[in-house]
A and B are shown apart, each in its own frame.
Chain A
């Protein structure tokens, strides 16, 4: 069955770099787009960026200067790296599969930016 699972550190210091991994199963990264979406505590959803099935990427312009998305198809993994983290980057980070809508979501990983 289709599954996505985010992993990464729960705590990041201000100004440091966040590195997250989305490990997928049940589908191929060369057939579906995968998005990263984040959610500050108690707030709404913010689209961060996308890894397209063909390897192309798109980013939210508000984050573009700090954000990088890559993948390793042999490991079924999509990676997110975001630098210069600040406290307002605190939240839950999700990866999702795109099938005309985000049809499957990971469980999310809570990231706290704090010293």
Chain B
């Protein structure tokens, strides 16, 4: 199984600040079809996870451009700029290249 290692476990940031979350996979996430199925999700308190970024760097419909994804192969990053109160929650990376699908253990974002 592909192991997804997410760091840090938690982050505290001031409103308006910027943060980065790292996600590393134990194997390359490049699919045979050339796509890299690495997604980022945010789970707000008491809610279902929501998709932010898919295929490394594509923002899902309605997602602010304050969220950006980058990376390749086994090393990926989510950046959040101009942090707002509504950004708090737990961020997960997830891979869909190889079954079983696997997720990182999550990064909890707190607002100072």
Interface residues of A (CB under 8 A from B): 35, 44-47, 50, 58, 60-61, 94, 98-108
Contact = CB atoms under 8 A, between A and B. Distances in A.
A98 B94 CA distance: 12
Given A100-B37, A102-B49, A45 B94 contact: yes
Interface string B74-112: 000000000000000000101010011111111000000
Contacts of A98: 96
Given A45-B92, A94-B48, A108-B48, A100 B41 contact: no
Nearest to A61: B100
Contacts of B104: 44
B60 A105 contact: no
B40 to A, nearest CB: 8
Nearest to B50: A105
A44 B48 contact: no
Interface core residue of A35, A44, A104, A106 (most chain B CB under 10 Å): A44
Contact of A100 (B48, B55, B106): B55
Nearest to B53: A101
